[in-house]
Amino acid sequence: MSKLEKFLRGRFAAALVAVLVGFAISAIVLAAAGYNPIGSFAALFNGAFGKPKYIANVIIKATPILLTGVSVAFAFKTGLFNIGAEGQYILGTTLATIVGVKLNLPMPLQVPIVLCAGIFGGALLGAFVGWLKAHFGIHEVITSIMCNWIAFYLCNFVVMSDTFHKPNSTSALQVNGSSYTMILGNWKKSAEGKAFLKGIPWLREILAKTDLNYGFIIAVLVAILISFVLTRTKLGYELRAVGFNRDAARFSGISVERNIVLSMLISGAICGLAGALTITGIAPHTITLLAAMESYGFNGLSVAFIAACSPLGCIPASILFASLIYGGMSVQQVMGAPSDIINIMIGTIVFFTALPGVTPMLADMLAKKRRAEEDIRVSKDGTPLPEKEV
């Protein structure tokens, strides 16, 4: 087997081919619409990575997508399809806002409590979906979609309630400042901080002009932790066993019902953490009246597919996804091309990553061609091939 064949049979090849095909189809659409594909892609990459603040904003945008992607990937590895990541994220933002408004403790206490509130919200909704699946056999796709809308309208109810509504606005009150998780949040606004950053333009651009926070670091650690749990712990083994074959898992003494609930609880908790980190790390540090879903959970679904449901693979996949979304705005501003081009690209990438048999098929074609060429060579000189190459 050649190196190319081995590469095409790997998981990374499927994602790489999907990305390349996505760019190729987008180039065709751009050219057909009368736009320069090369100039458009240059604007895309420049808008995502052209300045330090652009890179920081890509990282900020990637944080909730990474966590929701890890959440979906974790559930998928345990045999469940958590399409309710959106609702779990929204409930996480809602409870984090409620606790962040009502409590005003010192930062070392306030931040963990607010984050735990968001985690609890997502975990509660996820566990409810898992409980319905485990005890009543109701498919998690149905219940989680319905729970998305429950969380959606609950968020709007809290925003417009007398207790939390901010007068003359469509948002709730901001959480207290001790809840913030921006990097050097208070110091960078002080006279000393401004004087220091003035001498380092690139650092000033990142810290003073963006809401760069600790969220992405936390998200990466969560991805590593989930990967470890799935592959290196007894809990992960039991969760995956239930996902692979519930009857066999039950026969071996594993509690199927408990593990289904636990899997959805953990998956929901990760989404709730994503929502809490959005509230604590990104202005305006509150929830607003929702007219439509914010799509963080649905984008996480796409990230999980691009990463082949690998928690660690969600890290580069989320950065790619965030750079396409953020840099895509520059395509419209610079080239005048509609931003729908980026949606076409993302849709194409997700479509091809959902077809895991494409790259192995290419590998099979290359192997067939190689064997045919070897047969021709053998028939010409009569020399048999070494056994290891057959």
Longest dimension (CA), the chain: 89
More confident residue, 339 or 245: 245
Candidate from 72-81, 183-192, 224-233 with smallest mean pLDDT: 183-192
- Say if 349 falls within a structural domain: no
Q: How far is CA 305 from CA 311, 321, 346, 349, in A?
A: 11, 12, 11, 9
pLDDT at 379 over 70: no
Using an 8 Å Cβ cutoff, are 250 and 140 in contact?
no
Q: Calculate the alpha carbon distances from 330 to 45, 49, 114, 266, 337 in Å.
A: 9, 11, 35, 37, 9
Q: How far is CA 45 from CA 24, 263, 349, in A?
A: 15, 38, 17
Average pLDDT value for the chain = 88
pTM (two decimals): 0.89
Which residues have CB under 8 Å from 99's CB, separation 6+?
A: 113, 114, 117
Least confidently predicted of 116-125, 159-168, 240-249, 374-383: 374-383
| Residue 21 counted as domain residue | no
Element (H, E) at 55: helix 52-77
Number of domains in the chain: 1
Torsion sign, CA atoms 205, 318, 184, 278: positive
Residue 281 DSSP code: H
At residue 369 the predicted structure's pLDDT band, cuts being 50, 70 and 90, is confident
What Å distances lie between residue 112 and 202, 224, 267, 322, CA to CA? 30, 20, 19, 26
Among the ranges given (20-29, 100-109, 266-275), the one the predictor scored with the smallest mean pLDDT: 20-29
DSSP state of 36: -
46: in domain: no
Q: Dihedral of CA 324/328/330/334: which sign?
A: positive
- Residue among 364, 289, 269, 361 at smallest CA distance from 14: 361
The better pLDDT of the pair 308, 350 is held by: 308
Radius of gyration, alpha carbons of the chain: 24
Flag whether pLDDT at 234 surpasses 90: yes
Tens of pLDDT along 286-316? 999 998 898 899 899 989 988 888 999 999 9
pLDDT over 60 at 386, yes or no: no
Report the sign of the C-alpha dihedral through residues 87, 93, 94, 95, in that order. positive
Give the per-residue pLDDT at 81.
93
In a domain, 294, yes or no: yes
Give me the pLDDT at residue 230, please. 94
- DSSP-derived letter for residue 172 is B
- Measured in degrees and rounded to the nearest 5, phi and psi for residue 182 equal -65, 150
Q: What CATH number does the domain containing 144 carry? A: 1.10.3470
The string of DSSP letters for 206-257 reads HHHSS--BTHHHHHHHHHHHHHHHHHHSHHHHHHHHHHH-HHHHHHTT--HH
What is the tens place of the pLDDT at every residue in 31-74?
Answer: 888 888 898 889 889 999 999 999 999 999 999 999 999 999 99
Give residue 7's pLDDT: 64
57 lies in a domain?
Answer: yes
* 182-207 pLDDT, tens digit each: 998 878 878 888 888 888 888 888 98
> Which phi and psi (to 5°) does residue 357 adopt?
-85, 0
% of the chain residues with pLDDT over 70: 89
Determine the structural domain holding residue 87 and report its residue range: 51-328
* pLDDT level of residue 363 (50, 70, 90 thresholds): low
Instruction: Name, of 68-82, 321-335, 372-386, the range with top average pLDDT.
Output: 68-82
Structure tokens, 358: 């494409």
User: Would you say residue 390 has pLDDT above 50?
Assistant: no
d(CA 367, CA 354): 23
Amino acid 219: pLDDT: 97
Least confident of 165-174, 184-193, 350-359: 350-359
User: In the predicted model, what is the mean pLDDT of residues 100-111?
Assistant: 95
Is residue 381 domain-resident? no
pLDDT at 387 over 60: no
**In this structure, how many other beta carbons lie within 10 angstroms of the beta carbon of residue 274?**
33
Q: Let me know the angle formed at the C-alpha of 286 by 65 and 141, rounded to the nearest 5 degrees.
A: 45
3-class SS of residue 116: helix
Q: Residue 195: its pLDDT value, please?
A: 85
Any domain includes 42: no
In a domain, 318, yes or no: yes
H/E segment holding residue 66: helix 52-77
Among all chains, which residue has been given the structure tokens 């992607």?
69
| 179 pLDDT above the threshold of 70 | yes
